[in-house]
Amino acid sequence: MTLPHPGPVGAGAGLVWRRQRLLWWIYAVNLVLAGLGTLPMAMRTGTILNHSLGARPLVKGMDVTVLGSLAMHPSRPFLAPGSGIAAFVFFIFMLFVTGGVLKVYVLDRTLTTEEFFQACGGFFWRCFRLLILLLLMLAPIAALASALVRWSDKLSSDAAAAWLGFWVEVASLLAIGLLLMILRLWFDLAELHAVVENEPAVRRSLAAAFRLLGRNFASLFWLYFRISLAAWMVLALALGVWIRLVPADAVSTSFAIGQVVALFWIAARLWQRASEACWYQQRGPVPAAEPNTFSPPPLRPHWTAAPSIPLLFRRFLTWPPR
């Protein structure tokens, strides 16, 4: 019996699973950089708390008073510069591999090391220019959000209804969040168009992505929103388990829960990109064949056999990401 064609979300999940080495290597880089970023802060807080009775309330629980006093310490242990550097390096790393990740998802095949990093380097400048344009568009949205928050604060103090300012602020934040999701989706499609069409001009990719988003807004936003909602639900579930079931001194269990959440959030982001690539192949324009470019094959109409769990870990230990 022929299996029904999966939708873009289901096909994207299968694509992430088949090319899961990307997920494991991005997670490994994130884990290493997170460890390097937290090490300076751990060393600075350790010099303060290792010989202090103030460490006990933080080991046995979360004492906000002790945490606040630690934050106000003259040495400022929470302001370790290494943490910000590690986060910035991971951000640049993700920007660099975007082209390679999208090419893997569009072609749905194993790339050699040369092909993968050639795609990363070849599309990096286009992704960087799109990032600059995204930041420019975020500036007026940030100004609008600040103005709405000030307006809600004024309503809270001046309006007759005590809750009016609060509900105005909630509605404003929801509207700003919706606008940010639409903007992120637009630029995701622009990056995908630049990779699939091998388009060097980012303005043409933005224009093409805007037309695609305008004609298919409901399906694209629902695709993006469902995966985002799943990521937030997993985070809420993990926080509930951590608060209610995990003892305060169970450091290893808390660490394991945090790593599961981090892994799922990385997988959710890759799931979004893979689903967008599947949607583009199913409903987007068919790219014209050009010399020295790649033309993505048609999307597989059914699920392929997933690798076994032992094979999953063998792939994780194998270099390079493909």
Two structure tokens written together for 156? 């809270």
3-state secondary structure the chain: CCCCCCCHHHHHHHHHHHCHHHHHHHHHHHHHHHHHHHHHHHHHHHHHHCCCCCHHHHHHCCCHHHHHHHHCCCCCCCCCHHHHHHHHHHHHHHHHHHHHHHHHHHHCCCCCHHHHHHHHHHHHHHHHHHHHHHHHHHHHHHHHHHHHHHHHHHHHHHCCCCCHHHHHHHHHHHHHHHHHHHHHHHHHHHHHHHHHCCCCCHHHHHHHHHHHHHHCHHHHHHHHHHHHHHHHHHHHHHHHHHHHHCCCCCHHHHHHHHHHHHHHHHHHHHHHHHHHHHHHHHHCCCCCCCCCCCCCCCCCCCCCCCCCHHHHHHHHCCCCCC
* Pairwise CA distance, residues 34 & 151, whole Å: 38
Question: pTM value?
Answer: 0.79
* Pairwise CA distance, residues 121 & 74, whole Å: 44
Task: Output the tens digit of pLDDT for each of the chain's 322 residues.
Answer: 444 567 889 999 999 999 999 999 999 999 999 888 888 777 777 777 777 666 666 666 666 676 677 767 766 767 766 678 888 999 999 999 999 999 999 998 888 888 999 999 999 999 999 999 999 999 999 888 888 878 777 776 765 566 776 777 788 888 899 999 999 999 999 999 999 998 899 999 999 999 999 999 999 999 999 999 999 999 999 999 988 888 877 878 888 999 999 999 999 999 999 999 999 988 755 444 444 444 444 433 333 333 444 444 344 334 444 4
Angle formed by the axes of helices 164-196 and 202-215, nearest 10°:
120
Two structure tokens written together for 30? 């994130």
